[in-house]
């Protein structure tokens, strides 16, 4: 059997695609796999904020088009990049075990948020990260940052900013776990939906048995709750929303936060429920957040 995997061309994306290829070969040693590098809109447009170039799907649409046209059989993504609504005919066919979901503060000396000087510059292109940073320390100056991990670290090294925020999983996958970093606690910054997890997108009805063999049910349930939460809130790159689902035994806990872009208003909540009903839990927490003020925040953001 031959499979073509669609992937972006960054170091991180290629690592992720090769990792999935390795898992597939463990299940079927005879499978022939070809990596097909596809440039997405998010890769082509580097100097414009995500929200200004379309927000949702800027790193996946071209790969989805290749799936629908039959040029590839699988698309491998960072799960946080996959919109909650998929094109007709495509499904999230597999989710392997999740890696570290938290964010880390990267500085030259590995200091924490409380140790940064007043007015310190932090580089990030994420509204979610920026809003939660402002909510924690309003004195910080947020500097718009785009580019891959290497680019951001190079800008940090050049002194353009005092710190940047990156995903711990991405650093580990790139062999950069030893760089100076400080883990940001969840009560300060909740991650993006699906952060630390990989998503395998396929055409509906394709490769189900093979993908089930490399998927992790615990991770998949947590992800389904997070995606249901984000979907009910109508979130995307223009909305500062963080969430994290965790499963212990038969219990699924889900935490979520909605902020205004300046971090002045923060609505945070948590719910627990049966792990076998992740979507229901996600929607319940979303309704709770909306009722306690998130709806007003989101309406204002959409009106801008």
Residue 258 CB neighbour total at 10 angstroms: 30
Asked if the model's pLDDT at residue 271 lies above 70, the reply is yes
Q: Which residues are catalytic?
A: 81
Average pLDDT, the chain: 94
Q: Where do we find the tokens 């880390």?
A: 104
The predicted-structure confidence for 124-156, as pLDDT tens digits, reads as follows 999 999 999 999 999 999 999 888 899 999 999
- Confidence tier at 56 by pLDDT (50, 70, 90): low
What pLDDT is stored for residue 41 in this prediction? Answer: 81
Rg (CA), the chain: 19
pLDDT at 46 over 80: no
Position 57 confidence tier, pLDDT thresholds 50, 70, 90 = confident
CATH class of 1-96+197-215: alpha beta
Average pLDDT over residues 2-25: 97
Q: Can you give the pLDDT at residue 52?
A: 53
What does the pLDDT average to over 21-42?
94
Model confidence band, residue 55 (pLDDT cutoffs 50, 70, 90): low
Position 199 scores a pLDDT of 98
Q: Where in the chain is the domain with CATH 3.30.160.40?
A: 216-304
Tokens of 1: 């059997």
- 304 or 200, which is more confident: 200
> What percent of the chain stands above pLDDT 70?
95
- Provide CB contacts within 8 A for 123, sequence distance 6+: 142, 143, 144, 145, 152, 155, 156, 160, 161, 163, 164, 165
pLDDT tens for 173-229 read: 999 999 999 999 999 999 999 999 999 999 999 999 999 999 999 999 999 999 999
pTM for the predicted model, two decimal places: 0.93
pLDDT grade for 54, boundaries at 50, 70 and 90: low
Q: Which residue, 101, 288, 96, is CA-closest to 192?
A: 101
Superfamily of domain 103-183 in the CATH hierarchy: Periplasmic binding protein-like II (3.40.190.10)
- End-to-end alpha carbon distance in the chain: 50
Domain with CATH 3.40.190.10 in the chain: 1-96+197-215, 103-183
* Fold held by 216-304: Double Stranded RNA Binding Domain (3.30.160)
The structure tokens listed for 144 are 């718009």
3-state secondary structure string, the chain?
CEEEEEECCCHHHHHHHHHHHHHHHHHCCCCEEEEEECCCHHHHCCCCCHHHHCCCCCCCHHHHHHHHHCCCCEEEEEHHHCCCCCCCCEEEEECCCCCCCCEEEECCCCCCHHHCCCCCEEECCCHHHHHHHHHHCCCCEEECCCCCHHHHHHHHHCCCCCEEEEEHHHHHHCCCCCCCEEECCCCCCCCCCCCCCEEEEEECCCCHHHHHHHCCHHHHHHHHHHHHHHHHHCCCCCCCEEEEEEEECCEEEEEEEEECCCCCCEEEEEEEEECCCHHHHHHHHHHHHHHHHHHHHHHHHHHC
pLDDT tens digits for range 65-110: 999 999 999 999 999 999 999 999 999 999 999 999 999 999 999 9
In the prediction, which pLDDT does 145 show? 87
């Amino acid at each position: 059997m031959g499979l073509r995997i669609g992937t972006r061309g960054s170091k991180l994306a290629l690592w992720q695609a090769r990792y999935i290829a390795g898992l597939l070969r463990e299940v079927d040693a005879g499978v022939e796999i070809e990596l097909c590098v596809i440039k997405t809109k998010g890769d082509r447009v580097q100097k414009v904020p995500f929200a200004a170039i379309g927000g949702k799907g800027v790193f996946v649409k071209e790969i989805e088009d290749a799936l629908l046209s039959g040029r590839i059989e699988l698309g491998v993504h960072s799960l946080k990049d996959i919109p909650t609504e998929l094109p007709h005919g495509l499904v999230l066919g597999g989710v392997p075990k999740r890696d570290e979901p938290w964010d880390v503060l990267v500085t030259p000396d590995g200091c924490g948020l409380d140790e940064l000087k007043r007015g310190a510059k932090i580089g990030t292109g994420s509204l979610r990260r920026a809003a939660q940073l402002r909510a924690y320390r309003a004195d910080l100056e947020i500097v718009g940052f785009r580019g891959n991990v290497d680019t951001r670290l190079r800008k940090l090294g050049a002194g353009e900013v005092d710190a940047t925020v990156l995903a711990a999983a991405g650093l580990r996958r790139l062999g950069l776990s030893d760089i100076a970093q400080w883990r940001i606690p969840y009560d300060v910054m909740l991650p993006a939906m699906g952060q630390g997890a990989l998503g395998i997108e396929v055409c509906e009805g394709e490769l189900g048995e093979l993908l089930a063999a490399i998927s992790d049910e615990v991770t998949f349930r947590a992800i389904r709750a997070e995606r249901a939460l984000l979907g009910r809130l109508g979130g995307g790159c223009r909305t500062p929303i963080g969430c994290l689902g965790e499963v212990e035994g038969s219990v699924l806990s889900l935490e979520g936060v909605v902020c205004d872009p300046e971090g002045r208003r923060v609505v945070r909540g948590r719910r627990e429920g049966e792990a076998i009903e992740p979507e229901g839990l996600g929607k319940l927490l979303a309704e709770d957040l909306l009722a306690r003020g998130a709806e007003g925040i989101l309406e204002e953001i959409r009106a801008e």
